[in-house]
Structures are given as structure tokens and as C-alpha cells.
Amino acid sequence: MHALPSIDALRQILPSVIFELADRFVAAGHELSLVGGPVRDLYLGRVSPDLDFTTSARPEETIKVITGWAESIWDVGRDFGTIAFRKGDYTLEVTTYRADAYDKDSRKPVVAFGDNLHDDLFRRDFTMNAMALRLPQLELVDPFDGVSSLKDSLIRTPGAPDVSFSDDPLRMMRAARFASQLKIEVSSEVRQAMSEMTDRIEIISAERVRDELVKLINGADPRAGIDLLVATGLADKVLPEVSALRLEIDEHHRHKDVYQHSLTVLEQAMALETDAEGPVPGPDFILRFAALMHDIGKPATRKFEPSGAVSFRHHDMVGSKLVKARMRALRFDKDTTKAVARLVELHMRFYGYGDAGWTDSAVRRYVTDAGDLLQRLHRLTRSDVTTRNRKKADRLSFAYDDLEARIEEISAQEELDAVRPDLNGEQIMQILGIKPGPVVGRAYKFMLNLRLDEGVLGEEVAVERLRSWWAEQPESEDSAAE
């Protein structure tokens, strides 16, 4: 934690648009304060990209103050007291002091405008977000010791946490998200309230839970956030497949702790993300979430074999179906869902390569099945090695090094990223004398499999092989009869 810069330093650090706005509000007889995240971030040694303000002005008064100065204004949040607008490169939000009441059956507040800054800060989620800088004098207002919370690296609530979480249960997800983003812990009171109020999360929309989960996974320490969700029981409600990974370990310890393994894989996958110029710029939600969820099929597939070993046959396929179902329930978009599920499905494909080796055909299929997820699959597969047996870890690493080298070699030869059969659909129809339809698709798939199995055939050989295939199809006889 950093000390709050001096007033002179703040005037240099903060964008000038803040002071321009403050002068307009003060001139109109209104109070204005920078509030929440932007103030918290000053103590964390950074300037927030968000510029949020609270004011004594009512929404219509705010619009009057900024009209002619702001370049565009939108008032979609007007009923809740929020006016957003753009000035230069900045998007700013000004919200009237609030003193809301909440319906116990909904997280939507009965909006009531307040008349002082203290009460407005009291209704905010956490003490570290319940600080303000009065403008333009830059006076710190911290009635609930948000500075102390940051100093102690603890998440606390301005009032009783059970009341806060009852008012807005999404705040429990936000606590876990901040634990990940800011690498801080929750206070014992907050943890207890989260544990006792898990059922309240059920009134929150799936979309809102999803958004907080994405921010948590993309944070600096997602392990901490996930651990908090699991320990308090919230994960049982929003991500039960992860809670289920805590398999009871039998007395002979015949398999590793799947839950802890999954968190380690997540951290190792994060370490393999690239910068913005690389193939997998971090934070990459798809890679991270696939790493967390890759073994969720194990609880349903665990079997103690007569030999004493433990097996999880087909847990990759089962896990892929489970992750699809969970992500659909959380209202993830189709592309993201498909990508994560595909990685979970493919994460075991590599194993056995080091022992048996693969033909060029198998390498081609690996690349083709991964498609544009190949770079993520490389990182997920490498991250899945958490054994403490150094010889085994080195053997798997060297084997994957070899696979990647072969992929690069074959790719250079055949432009593997864009594998196409030697004959396209138009050519197939012309050669066989058939019209568009399912048969063309079957013929194309046959030619694609030849391409994957045998590489480039050349047009002459491809035509010969296509005709041989066609001669064995029942449709060829119908075509000849015509």
C-alpha cells in the first residue's frame, strides 16, 4: 500500500478533466467528490481508468451543469441518479447521493436520493471503496477506515456484512473477485457472513454472477478467489463442479488431490500466457477457465480398480459436457463456451505420445482438431503436469517439446494451419457428375481424411482415389442407371 500523494502531487497525477468538472459543479452551488475505485487505486499506486463521482446535485441539475461542456451525454441510469458523459478521452459518471432501501426478495434497490456524502459512502460495498476526495480541495473523506482496510490488506464492509450482503448478494462475489484482483483477504466477519448467506446469491441473475467470475478468473490471484468461493460454500451455488473436485482421498492416497491439482494447473497456465504480441496474451479467460475446469469430469468417473489403482476413464469427454452445461447456465456466449469445452475435451490427447510416438497423420489430426485453440492447448497440456517426480515431469516436457517441433516441421511443409483436401467441393461434383447434397459432404470428408492421413496426394492421384471410393458407394449405381 502507498501513502496518499500530497495535494500538489494529486493535482499532477489526476487528469485535469476532474478539476474542470469540479469547478463547474462548485460554481453551480453543488458538492462533488471523486469516489470509490479511483480513490482506492491512489493508495495502490495507480490511477484508475474509471472516473466516478458523487454529488449533491439531482440528475437534472447534473445535466444542466455539464451541458455545453460535455461532448456527449447519456442518461440511461437517470432513474438511479447516474449521468454518464464523455469529455475528450474520458468517460465520466456522476451519481447523486444515494440512501437506498432494499427489498429482501430482490437486489434492486428502492432508489432514494440522499443529502450528504457520509450516508452515500455507508451504502457502498466495502470500506476500501467507501472513500472519497472532496473536490476541488482534494480533502480525503474516510468515515469507515478504508485506509486501514487497505493497510491491513483486508476486505471489510462499512456496516454489518450480513446486512450488506442481504441488501446486495452480488457483493459476496465481488469480495471473491477483489481477493483475486488485489491479492487481499476478507475479514473473518465478511467470511462468516458469506458462509451463512450463500442462499441469497440465488436471487442474482446468471449474467451478473458470470461477469464477476470472469473478473475473478482474470485477476492477479484467481486461486485466492476460487478458494474463498469454495470455502464459504458460494461455489456450491455458482460453480458446483469445482467444489466437487474436493474428492475424498482414500487411506492409501492412490490419487492426487484433484482440487489442489486444478488450482495449480490454473496458476501454471497463467505463467505461460504471453504479452500482447504473443499468441496467447494474458489474462486469457479461455485458457484459465479451461485449466480450472479440465478435470471436472473426474468425480463422476472415478473407479477403484481391482489392482488397487484408481482410474478416471473418459473424464475428458464427461468434463467437456459438464463445462458446456455450466457455462450455458451462466449465460456465456457460444464461442467462449465452445472453446473452453473443446480444450477440456482435448487436454488428455497428448498423453501416450512419449511412449508410443505418433505418425504424421496423428500429428495432423491433433493440429486440425485443436484448430485456432492450438496455442492454448499447448499451454494447457504443459500446465497439467504437476507431479513432484522430476524425471517424469522432464520426460513429459521433452515429449511435448518433440511434438511441438514436429508440428512446426509439418506445418512448414504443408501449411498445416489451413489443411484442405486435394479436391474441393466443385471439383468433386464435376468429377463424379453429382449435384450438391449430402453425398458431396461425405466425399469431401473422405478426401480430407486422406489429406490428414497421407499428406498431399496431387490432383491425379486424388482423382483416382475419389473414383475408387465412389465406386463403392450405393449412390454410384443410381447415378450409372440414370
Classify 373 as helix, strand or coil. helix
Q: Can you say whether the dihedral through the CA atoms of 19, 23, 25, 29 is positive or negative?
A: positive
- As a whole number of angstroms, the distance between CA 321 and CA 344 comes to 9
Question: Regarding beta strands 154-155 and 185-186, do their DSSP bridges make them parallel or antiparallel, or are they unpaired?
Answer: parallel
- As a whole number of angstroms, the distance between CA 229 and CA 226 comes to 5
Amino acid 455: pLDDT: 84
Amino acid 420: pLDDT: 81
Amino acid 248: pLDDT: 57
Question: Is the bond leading into 283 cis (omega within 30 degrees of zero)?
Answer: yes
Amino acid 358: pLDDT: 86
Amino acid 251: pLDDT: 45
In tens digits, the chain (482 residues) has pLDDT values of: 777 888 888 999 999 999 999 999 999 999 999 999 999 999 998 888 889 999 999 999 999 999 999 999 998 788 889 999 999 999 999 999 998 666 666 556 667 899 999 999 999 999 999 999 999 999 999 999 999 999 999 999 999 999 999 989 999 999 999 999 999 999 999 999 999 999 999 999 999 999 999 999 999 999 999 999 999 999 999 999 999 999 755 444 555 689 999 999 999 999 999 999 999 999 999 999 999 999 999 998 888 878 778 888 899 999 999 999 999 999 999 999 999 999 999 999 998 776 667 888 889 889 989 999 999 999 999 999 988 888 888 888 888 999 999 998 888 776 655 678 889 999 999 999 998 888 999 999 999 899 888 888 889 999 999 999 999 988 876 655 45
Angle between the N-to-C axes of helices 222-232 and 258-271, in degrees from 0 to 180, rounded to the nearest 10: 160
Question: Regarding beta strands 90-96 and 51-55, do their DSSP bridges make them parallel or antiparallel, or are they unpaired?
Answer: parallel
